[in-house]
Amino acid sequence: MIAGRPNRGALLPARLSALTDSRVGSLVFFIIRRILWMIPIVFFVILITFLLMHLAQGSPWDKAGGRQLSAAVVNNLNIKYGLNKPEYQQFELYVWNVLHFDFGLSYQYEGKTVTGLIAEGIPYTATLGVLAFIIIVPVGVGLGVLAALRQNTRVDYITMGFATAAASFPNFVIGALMVVVFSVLMAKWTQHSFFLPAADFGLDDHLIMPVITLALLPIAYTARLTRASTLDTIRQDFIRTAWAKGLTERLVVIKHVLKNSLIPVVTTLGPTFAFLVTGSLIVETVFNIPGIGRAFVTAVESRDYPMILGTTILFSIIIAIANLVVDVTYVFIDPRVRLA
Amino acid sequence: MALAAPALEQAVDWEVAEQQIGLWQDAWHRFRRNRLAVLGAGLVLFLILVAFLSPLLVHFHLIWNPGTQDVANIEVGPAQAGHPLGSDELGRDTLSRLMFGSRISLSVGILVQGIILPIGMAIGLAAGYFGGRIDNLLMRFTDIWYAFPDLIFVLVLVSVFGPSLLTIFGAIALVNWVGLARLVRGQVLAIKEKEYIEAARSSGSAPLKLILKHLLPNALGPIIVTVVFGIPSAIFLEAVLSFLGVGIQPPTPTWGQMVFDGYEAIYANPSAVVLPALAIGFTLLSFSFIGDGLRDALDPRMKR
Say which CATH number the domain at A318 has: 1.10.3720.10
pLDDT band at A64 (very low <50, low <70, confident <90, very high): low
Non-local CB neighbours of B58 within 8 Å, separated by 6+ positions: B64, B65, B66, B96
Indicate whether A321 belongs to any domain. yes
- A52 close to B (CB below 8 A): yes
Indicate if the pLDDT at residue B43 is higher than 50: yes
Please say if the pLDDT value at position A3 is more than 50.
no
Chain A: give the shortest CA distance to residue B43, in Å: 15
Q: What is the CATH number of domain B45-302?
A: 1.10.3720.10
Higher-scoring residue by pLDDT: A77, A245: A245
Q: Which of A130, A137, A164 is nearest to A222 (CA)?
A: A137
User: Count of domains in chain A?
Assistant: 1
From A43's Cα to the closest Cα of chain B, the distance in A is 9
**pLDDT at residue A5 tops 50:** no
Please tell me the predicted confidence (pLDDT) of residue A96: 82
The set of residues, in sequence order, having a beta carbon less than 8 Å from that of B78 and lying 6+ positions away, is B84, B85, B86, B94, B271
- Number of residue pairs across A and B with CB atoms under 8 Å? 126
* Residue A331 CB partners (closer than 8 Å, separation 6+): A27, A30, A337, A339
The dihedrals phi and psi of B227, each to the nearest 5 degrees, come to -65, -40
Measured at the CA of B119, the angle between CA B281 and CA B246, to 5 degrees, comes to: 45
Contact across the interface for A319 and B149, Cβ inside 8 Å: yes
- Smallest CA-to-CA distance from A238 within A263, A258, A256, A261 is with A256
Lowest mean per-residue pLDDT among A5-9, A52-56, A66-70: A5-9
Contacts of A185 in chain B (CB under 8 A): 270
List of chain B residues whose C-beta atoms are within 8 Å of the C-beta of residue A157: none
A180 interfacial to chain B (CB closer than 8 Å): yes
Predicted confidence band of residue A22 (pLDDT cuts 50, 70, 90): low
Whether the bond into B207 is cis, omega within 30 of 0: no
Residue A225 lies in a domain: yes
User: In this structure, is the dihedral angle defined by the CA atoms of residues A102, A108, A112 and A117, taken in order, positive or negative?
Assistant: negative
> Exposed/middle/buried for A21, CB within 10 Å: 0-12, 13-18, 19+?
middle
Q: What is the pLDDT of residue A215?
A: 92
Contact B271, B215 (CB under 8 A): no
* Side chain identity, residue A176: A
pTM of the predicted model, to two decimals? 0.81
Q: What residues 291-320 of chain A have any CB closer than 8 A to a CB of chain B? A: 296-297, 299-301, 303, 308, 312, 315-316, 319-320
Helix (H) or strand (E) holding A5: none
Q: What percent of chain A has pLDDT over 70?
A: 88
- Chain A closest-CA separation from residue B157 CA (Å): 7
**From B151, B243, B273, residue closest to A278, measured CB to CB:** B151
pLDDT at A21 over 70: no
| Total Cβ atoms within 10 A of residue A88 | 8
Q: Which residues contact B34 (CB under 8 A, 6 or more apart)?
A: B292, B293, B296, B297
Question: Residue A7's pLDDT is what?
Answer: 45
Q: What does the pLDDT look like over A157-209, one tens digit per residue?
A: 999 888 888 888 888 888 888 888 888 888 888 877 777 777 777 777 788 88
Contact B277 A177 (CB under 8 A): yes
Contact B159 A320 (CB under 8 A): no
Contacts of B284 in chain A (CB under 8 A): 168-170
56-95 in chain A: CB under 8 A from chain B: 56-57
Residue A266 lies in a domain: yes
Condensed to tens digits (0 to 9), the pLDDT of residues B80-94 reads 767 777 777 777 787
Would you state the pLDDT for residue A206? 80
Pick from A172, A174, A297, A307 the residue to mutate for testing the B interface (most B CBs within 10 Å): A172
Question: Which value does ipTM take for this structure?
Answer: 0.79
pLDDT of residue A63: 59
Measured CB to CB, residues of chain B less than 8 Å from chain A are 143-144, 147-152, 155-162, 232, 236, 239-240, 243-246, 256, 259, 263, 266-267, 270, 273-274, 277-278, 280-281, 284-285, 288
For residue B1, what pLDDT is reported? 42
Tell me whether A162 touches chain B (CB under 8 Å). no
Nearest to B286 by CA among B23, B22, B50: B50
CA-CA distance, A305 to A299, in Å (whole number)? Answer: 7
Residue A157 distance to chain B (closest CA, Å): 13
Q: State residue A131's pLDDT score.
A: 92
pLDDT reported for residue B17: 47
Are B149 and A274 within 8 A, CB to CB? yes
Would you call A56 and B160 a contact, using CB atoms and an 8 Å cutoff?
yes
CB atoms inside a 10 Å sphere around CB B91: 18
Query: Do residues B234 and B172 lie in contact, with contact meaning Cβ atoms separated by under 8 Å?
Result: yes
Q: What is the largest CA-CA distance in chain A?
A: 86
Residues in chain B within 8 Å Cβ distance of A55: 160-161
Count how many Cα atoms sit within 13 Å of the Cα of residue A101 in the half-sphere of its side chain: 5
- Of residues A109 and A38, the one with the higher pLDDT is A38
Instruction: Find how far residue B66's CA is from the centre of its chain.
Output: 26
Q: pLDDT digit string (tens) for B64-78?
A: 777 777 777 777 777
Say if the Cβ atoms of A40 and B259 lie within 8 Å. no
Domain ranges of chain B: 45-302
CA distances for A260 relative to A121, A152, A218, A253, angstroms: 39, 22, 20, 10
CA–CA distance, A212 with A207 (Å, rounded to integer): 8
A184 in Cβ contact with B266 (< 8 Å): yes
Q: Is A172 near chain B, with CB under 8 Å?
A: yes
- How far is C-alpha B1 from the geometric centre of its chain's CA atoms? 53
**How far apart, in Å, do the first and last CA atoms of chain B sit?**
39
Residue A324: how many other CB atoms lie within 10 Å: 16
Contact indicator for A282, B263 with CB cutoff of 8 Å: no
> For A204-231, how does the pLDDT look when each residue is reduced to its tens digit (9 = 90+)?
778 888 999 999 999 998 999 999 888 8
Identify the pLDDT of residue A10.
Answer: 44
Q: Which residue of A has its CA nearest to B271?
A: A180
Q: What residue of B is the nearest CA neighbor of A60?
A: B160
Rounded Cα distance, A221 and B283, in Å: 19
**A190 touches A179 (CB < 8 A):** no
Question: How far lies A258's CA from each of A242, A263, A334, in Å?
Answer: 13, 9, 13
For residue B7, is pLDDT > 70?
A: no
User: Is A278 among the domain residues?
Assistant: yes
Nearest CB neighbour to A172, from listed B143, B232, B243: B243
Mutation to test the A interface, candidates B105, B154, B159, B283, most A Cβ within 10 Å: B159
Q: Supply the pLDDT for residue A223.
A: 92
Measuring CA to CA, which residue among B192, B108, B194, B179 is closest to residue B148?
Answer: B179
Q: For residue A281, which residues of chain B lie inside 8 Å, CB to CB?
A: 151-152, 155, 244
Its domain, for residue A131, covers 28-57+103-333
pLDDT at residue number B302: 57
User: Cα–Cα distances in Å, from A203 out to A135, A187, A208, B131, B195?
Assistant: 16, 21, 10, 54, 63
- Which of A35-44, A198-207, B259-268, B278-287 ranks highest by mean pLDDT? B278-287
Please tell me which residue of chain A has the smallest CA distance to B265. A184
Q: How sure is the predictor about A66, in pLDDT bands with cuts at 50, 70 and 90?
A: low
Cβ contact, residue pair A170, B147, below 8 Å: no
State residue A139's pLDDT score.
Answer: 93
Residue B80 β-bridge partners? B83
Report CA-CA distances (Å) from B184 to B30, B270, B294: 24, 45, 17
User: Tens digits of per-residue pLDDT, A279-328?
Assistant: 898 999 888 889 899 999 988 888 888 888 889 888 888 888 888 888 88
For the cut 60, the answer to whether the pLDDT of residue B171 exceeds it is yes
Residue A92 lies inside a defined structural domain of this protein: no
| DSSP string for residues in A247-280 | --HHHIIIIIIHHHHHHHHHHHHHHHHHHHHHHH
Q: If pLDDT is split at 50, 70 and 90, which confidence band does B296 have?
A: confident
Mean pLDDT of A104-122: 82
Query: Rounded distance, CA B59 to CA B56, Å?
Result: 5
pLDDT band at B49 (very low <50, low <70, confident <90, very high): very high
Q: Across residues B32-45, what is the average pLDDT?
A: 89
| Residue percentage of chain B with pLDDT more than 90 | 10
Q: Which residues are B93's β-sheet partners?
A: B87
Name the residue in chain A with its Cα closest to that of B144: A41
